[in-house]
Structure 1
């Protein structure tokens, strides 16, 4: 068990040092959702009214509604950003060196995934602290109960980036794929609009949003912030995380995946 723990600590510490050395990444991760909160939400405040739907027990402002979606945005962008660094590490050779460790490949990739998710959660809590200063606050218990939801959602979104990175050879190609994946996942979800609003526009659009794993990750976070449990969102998010992690493990298999093709 000790070698497993040592590798976990080493990988987390490496990611933490990299993150500390990239302060601009931390600032950029906060500016993006704050712009959406201050500018985008202000424009839609009067146009979009939200009825009383779970987990809300009363009428809620649009700014309050989109906060969980913006937390998901941070996890999504950071998950992709971390996977972008994985592609860079593979080009530089450090990823190949990591995978030659005698420890199981699944543990090495999971450690990397957990390290990036931990950093993402730190950024989400910083964002929630800023929103509290902005006037959007939750119960103290909500800030605690949302931690498992952030961890599960972060692992799922990080696994998505990990799966993509296992099949993309070049750094430039991955940067393009990131935008192709991030924006449809974000906009075709409940991050900005509730699903019943989507249904009013188009049943097909509603069904696409309902099948989007990011929607369920956002709803898991939304309910957790109010101290409530959403079993459906949990099952969807965990199921997507397991499938994506399995794809990543297959892609990084030296016998058939990207490592073999690079060799």
Structure 2
């Protein structure tokens, strides 16, 4: 147990140090959602009104509506960044050294997942504080209540990143993943528009958004920010996290996934 905790502490510390030293990564994580919040939202404000809907008790501005979606965006892109770092570490050899330790492979992947989740939560709170400075505020206690939701959503999106890293062989393939995985997940969700508006435009698109795990992560964050509990969103988020992590562990299994492919290539 002590060895497992030491590994957990070491991997989390490594990820935090890497994040602190990569200032461009921190700025990039904030610039993207801030542009959506301060530029795009200003243009959509007049065109898109958000009616009263749970968890809101009154009409809200578009900026307030998309705030949880942008929080989810931060965690989604952080999960993909963790995926990219896994591919890089694998090519450089450090990941192979880590996976040859006497600790169970699944525990090492969980440690990596927890480390990425911690980094994403740091980015989210920095973004929320900046948003408050621009007058886009949520209930004060919501900043504390949203923490468990951020852990669940960060684990789910980080597990998706782990799964993708087990399939991506080269860094050059990462751009394709961004186009065919990240953007559909984000745009086919409730991050930017309510699901009822999706239903008005296309029933098929609405059904796609309804089964999108990113939608449930965003709704979990949205309700938590307003001190409400969304059991369905939590259940689907945790289920998706378990499925993604399970397939990621299989992908890194030397008998089935990554190591077998590498041996065949050699």
TM-score by length of 1: 0.99
Tell me what 1:139 maps to: 139
Alignment of 1:47-86 (within 5 A): 47-86=47-86
Shift of 1:256: 1.3
CA offsets 1:127-165 (integer angstroms, 9 cap, x no match) = 000010111112221000100000100110010010011
Tell me what 1:205 maps to: 205
Say how many residue pairs are matched: 263
Are the equivalent residues in 2 in contact too, given 1:190–1:218 (CA < 8 A)? yes
Shift of 1:174: 2.5
Q: Which runs of 5+ in 1 are unaligned?
A: none
Are the equivalent residues in 2 in contact too, given 1:165–1:174 (CA < 8 A)? no
Q: Which runs of 5+ in 2 are unaligned?
A: none
CA distance in 1, matches of 2:178, 2:97: 25
Alignment pair present for 1:41 and 2:41: yes
SS at match of 2:163: helix
CA distance in 2, matches of 1:14, 1:176: 28
Shift of 1:175: 3.0
TM-score by length of 2: 0.98
CA offsets 1:4-23 (integer angstroms, 9 cap, x no match) = 11000000111111111100
Tell me what 1:103 maps to: 103
Question: CA RMSD, aligned part only?
Answer: 0.7
CA distance in 2, matches of 1:73, 1:187: 10
CA distance in 1, matches of 2:14, 2:100: 17
Tell me what 2:152 maps to: 152
Alignment pair present for 1:239 and 2:245: no
